[in-house]
Structure 1
Amino acid sequence: LSFTLTQLQKDLEEVKVLLEKATRKRVRDALIAEKSKIETEVKNKTQQKSPRKAELDNEKPAAVVAPITTGYTVKISNYGWDQSDKFVKIYITLTGVQQVPTENVQVHFTERSFDLLVKNLNGKNYSMIVNNLLKPISVEGSSKKVKTDTVIILCRKKAENTRWDYLTQVEKECKEKEKPSYDTETDPSEGLMNVLKKIYEDGDDDMKRTINKAWVQSREKQAKGETEF
């Protein structure tokens, strides 16, 4: 059965009257339980009569949560770097980074890595992680600087006055794989000689005899050419 708010209020008043007159404990306990039940129903009906109040109650948590949202995280892939005798310096361009609170720019160093996190810059977070640095760095001596539109990561070299040809070990390995077995910037004939030397060193006895024979013939031709000239 569904009761109106008015009916429930009348029932509650009657229960209260009966409760005042009741003397037996069992009857009083039953009336108290019924009174509590009716009061709960009255409360529920009252809330249904005020839908706007319920809406306001639902809105309050949203108002608290909204300011915490800071958007998604962007991975930083573009950077520049150079070095001095003591530091390897990494430059990251982030427009407006100087406007965020200092504590929003965080850098964590290990002996062979660093990771940068910039929080809530124009509604986004920015992250950069570099592992397998070419050489060890001093965690205590490393730091960061925030300039106009730029974050500078200062990695303190553990071994000063040593030159880093690459920023990471992975970069070094990739670049060295790309290099040919001889230096293309040298004289072409010198490059060819380097290749022949390598083949000679790696070859079997037949290969070595073949190369020796070709070498001798080449020298003889050169000698004849010089004489004829």
Structure 2
Amino acid sequence: LTFHTRITMTATVEDLRADLEDLRKARQVAERQRTRVVLDTAIGQVTKQLEKATAPPPPPPSAPEEAAAASATASAPTVPEPAIVPVPRGASFIPISKFAWDSGEYNTPWVCVYITLEGVGAVKESVECSFSKDGFDLRVTGLGGKNYRLLKDNLEKDIVAGESKCIVKKDRITLKLRKVKGDYSYETWTNLTAKKGKTEKKAKGADPMGGIMDMMKDMYEDGDDSMRKIIEESMRKARSGEGSSPSVPDLGGGMADMMSGLGGGI
């Protein structure tokens, strides 16, 4: 299953409305939870694009406002990117292999990771977690004479390290990873860590619509028969030219274009 078509941001208002209608129809018949999350994300993004496309342009800033903005940008201090602190030499840690995580509902700001460690609240001062933009390193020292560690350095999406949190209770640690807010909504996570390596993930991030393409790929691979039929029917229409107006130029922004990217791999 391969993708070859990329969506551009030049879709007409009519294209966006047609895309939104197709997505909502697919959402009504979707049965799997993961498929619904993917479609909700796409619906949210297309809705925001439509609102942006139909909104009146803002008034141009006055000369004093432009000068004030330029001055504020020039004087703003540079905040260094947080990094995961290396473990001291000689320290021995037991890897934490059992934990749970929750990506949250659509457009929620947090991904939560739950770690159960009996009695961890008694050594709260010895619990520390460092966050970076694509990982975290949780370390617990001196719990029952043992040290524990949970390290993830290739998260599926980037996080806001400075706003992420580590909360320690009696028998549980909760890591709250702050999602990055995109142009239209908070990013949707389908896995805690990326299936691809860091280099591949960085290349994918260069394409602002690459995430939607990957989500649509996952939706086809993991969807039920009903969802696959919807995608295949959309592809068939895209190849035959059905559902597109001959008077509207091909701008690469329609739902049919996105689905036709699946055509070579099914």
The structure, 1 or 2, with the larger RCO (C-alpha pairs under 8 Å, 6+ apart) is: 2
Higher strand share: 1
Work out which of the two has the higher radius of gyration on C-alpha atoms and give 1 or 2.
1
User: TM range, normalised to the smaller chain?
Assistant: 0.3 to 0.5
TM-score (norm 2): 0.40
